[in-house]
Each structure stands twice: as structure tokens, then as C-alpha cells.
Amino acid sequence: MALFFFYCGVETITGQWMYSVMVESRGIAPVRAGIWVSLYWASLTAGRFLIGSLANRVDTVWLVRWAMGGALCGVAFCSPGQCLSRWPGLH
């Protein structure tokens, strides 16, 4: 239960903090930063719908392995050499 609340807290803090960092620290235009934050929340929502639709159709172990692989790809994509400032529209 504690892990659930930790995850929810991290997710919410990231979503709220992202806009401020992009605009105030990175110098990204407010509209563009708003679009990226909206995409963040939209991707979380879409992922939940996708996982929800797959949960009863595929093996749980397979689903968890693919989710972990996706998380590792996300970490690699956002690693220091590939930071968000190199994404299109964020420079």
C-alpha cells in the first residue's frame, strides 16, 4: 500500500513540477511546455487504458516483463546523454 501512495505522489509531483522546470529553468515557451505536460498526462491515461484492456487477455508475467522493459527504455531515452532538452521542440 505504501508503494502505491509513493508512486502516486511521484507521478503527481512530476506532472506539477515539469511545467515550472521547463519554463523557468530551461527557457521553453509556456505554450510548448504546456503541450509537453499535456502529453505526459495523456500518455499515462492511454497507458492505463491499454494495460486495462490487456490485463485479462495476456499472461500477467508477460505483461509485467513488457512493462519493465518499457520502463527501462524510458530511462535510457531520458538518460543524461539523451536528455529531454534534445527532443524536438525543447531546445
Which pLDDT tens digit goes with each residue over 17-37? Answer: 888 888 988 888 999 989 989
8 vs 22: CA distance, rounded Å: 22
Q: Would you place residue 38 in the very low, low, confident or very high pLDDT band (cuts 50, 70, 90)?
A: very high
Does this model's pTM top 0.85? no
Q: What is the pLDDT of residue 25?
A: 84
In order of 18, 46, 61, 84, the CA distances from 27 in angstroms are 12, 28, 42, 13
Q: Which amino acid, 2? A: A
